[in-house]
Amino acid sequence: MLFEFLIERRPLSLQTKSRENLQQWKSFVASEVAKNWHLPLIAEKYLHISIVYLCDDAPPDVDNIVKPILDALVGLIYKDDEQVADVESHRRYLSDGIDATNLPSLLQYGVLKGEECVYVKIEDSLSLETYLL
């Protein structure tokens, strides 16, 4: 794993009517990342991004929260979002009860806190067959 972080806030959808709110969301995500990312930009590799949205009622569509998060990482984690070769996106309802036993510790924290949040993990992209077999 290259990096992981937790956004302790409900995500904003790409479909929001307010472009200003969307820009504020991206800035918030970038500020959360900047608290713990102190390395140079990743420039010469393809990346695999995993996103887990722990939600309450009436969440935004899981596909609509991905792009704003990826955009917020450009120029901070990676040079260009064309480096993102793979994206996994998951949404789970906190009310369903989530077994956190085998989850990464930061995601366990999000589950145990019991409030809406988004876990993001950034890794090197692997060969296609690794994901499909």
- With CA atoms as reference, report the closest residue to 41 among 72, 82, 74, 69: 74
Q: Which domains does the chain have, with CATH numbers?
A: 3-126 (3.30.1330.70)
Percent of the chain with pLDDT over 70: 100
Are residues 24 and 69 in contact, defined by beta-carbon separation less than 8 angstroms? no
- Condensed to tens digits (0 to 9), the pLDDT of residues 27-72 reads 999 999 999 999 999 988 999 999 999 999 999 999 999 999 999 9
- Condensed to tens digits (0 to 9), the pLDDT of residues 92-102 reads 999 999 999 99
Residue with tokens 């479909």: 15
